[in-house]
Amino acid sequence: MQKGAARQAQATDPRGRKLQVGLVVAHLLVACTVTQAKGGVVGAGGASVSQADLTARATVASAGSANTTLSPLSSRKPPNAASEMRSGLAGETPKMAGAGAALNQAGFVGAAQQRPPAEATSAETTNAGTMMNRIEFSKPSDSDILQRLSPLEYEVTQHGATEPPFRNRYWDNHEAGIYVDVVTGEPLFSSKDKFESGTGWPSFAAPIEPNRVIEKPDRSLGMVRTEVRSAVGGSHLGHVFDDGPQPTGLRYCINSASLRFVPRSKLIAEGYGLYEGRFSVVGTPDMAPSTTNSCAVEQGKSGGCAATLDEAYLSGGCFWGMQDLLRKIPGVVETQVGYLGGAMAHPTYEDVKTGSTGHAETVRILFEPKRLSFSELLEKWFFRMHDPTTPNRQGNDRGSQYRSVIFYTSDAQRDTATQVIERVNQSGKWKAPIVTEVIAAKAFTPAEEYHQDYLVKHPGGYTCHYLRD
């Protein structure tokens, strides 16, 4: 019996409609203002912080009109490490305490106090006549953050993880708009200050306004770098380096998972109308590429800056059963099912199930290499949960969409996959030769929502996967 028939028998209702299930990132409008007073800054808890200190630490921003001239502050240097930061990696950071503690250490006492959510105030008009909505922000509770963020977003913002380069949502985004904290919604960066850095992560020359981000010494990896966090939510964003383009000379290397993008067309509707005017000034070009930095690397090649998370794309038959086993492996952070390997852009299940598109049902695995190496993922798990000796078939499921494939994202993954296949062949665990393909990963299309975590939603549903001894 083929899987298509089995699915129809056991999932008639899910196939007829898309289930709107999953984590939804909510961006609360909350109350926490920071105002200037007598040369200082007062946090929501009433603690005063030196204006000079904040100016030196927060540095340049593109506040005001779109043609505001940016200039670097000579006082902005990483703590005792200007030269070390140039050679440092934008890599992992140690797991850190709660954002409130981080803010207290940075001098922002009370800035992340939890307050009841507040709606945006009524619209106001600036002197220039631009419509503006003033929103106030605060950090949600830990339980709310855990519920609303994806596993990747949670690991990055709350535990200081670094997502993989080039395979994240905003590294190549060129649309006009602003980037806000995925946790609190506070505005952080503008597309006007975004530039192509060659690193595979979103890179900015400055925050959207002074004091929107705070800095913290990071002494991991045997060097001193400067970590950047959101001022209100204390979310880990990434690191700032002094090898960026002029006029600031800075490169804010930021995780896409820390951000939510608000396009220009939605700024007023979402309460960020204050920033819409920045994009209406004629003759203000976007920033030119600047790839002469310590992290720039050709996509898919070794080198560049280290990430604490990596991605794998594995195909071995029905992605329902594959995902159900893969998500339980220690060191796996997140899984997602989808389609990979074909020529059609944005295929659907109805397209792929015909077997004519060239796509394979695939599971995207986000994992921690320090806990689970790519080699272990393949040898100890992938080659035990499916039969890699049957071309275009897995159990009762037949067709090229059910073939065994390792889609590699780097030269290192390709080499590892080849070595593991050779070892498995020589082990004698399989009586027939391994037919698993090793192919470069290209565009991955997530499957429809009703396919995601299918066996979690429907325990006892169809699967032909199990772990062999």
Taking a C-beta distance cutoff of 8 angstroms, is the pair 308, 368 a contact? yes
36 pLDDT band, cuts 50/70/90, is very low
136 pLDDT band, cuts 50/70/90, is confident
Looking at residue 306, what is its pLDDT?
77
Domain ranges of the chain: 35-279, 309-457
Looking at residue 33, what is its pLDDT?
35
Q: What is the distance between the alpha carbons of residues 148 and 25, in angstroms, rounded to a whole number?
A: 5
Taking a C-beta distance cutoff of 8 angstroms, is the pair 301, 408 a contact? no
Which one of 32, 295, 305, 318 is the catalytic residue?
Answer: 318
355 pLDDT band, cuts 50/70/90, is very high
Looking at residue 284, what is its pLDDT?
63
Query: What value does the mean pLDDT of the chain take?
Result: 77
pLDDT (average), residues 449-460: 96
Does 318 qualify as catalytic in the annotation?
Answer: yes
Taking a C-beta distance cutoff of 8 angstroms, is the pair 253, 197 a contact? yes
84 pLDDT band, cuts 50/70/90, is very low
- pLDDT tens string 139-160: 999 999 999 999 999 999 999 9
Residue 20 CB neighbour total at 10 angstroms: 8
CATH of domain 35-279: 2.170.150.20
DSSP label of 145: H
CATH class of 309-457: alpha beta
> Higher-confidence residue: 142 or 76?
142
Q: Which amino acid is at 298?
A: E
Compute the C-alpha angle 209/214/220, nearest 5°: 140
pLDDT (average), residues 405-419: 96
Q: What is the distance between the alpha carbons of residues 178 and 449, in angstroms, rounded to a whole number?
A: 28
pLDDT (average), residues 365-380: 97
Looking at residue 117, what is its pLDDT?
31
Which one of 253, 295, 305, 464 is the catalytic residue?
Answer: 253
Compute the C-alpha angle 125/267/174, nearest 5°: 135
Does 295 qualify as catalytic in the annotation?
Answer: no
Looking at residue 12, what is its pLDDT?
40
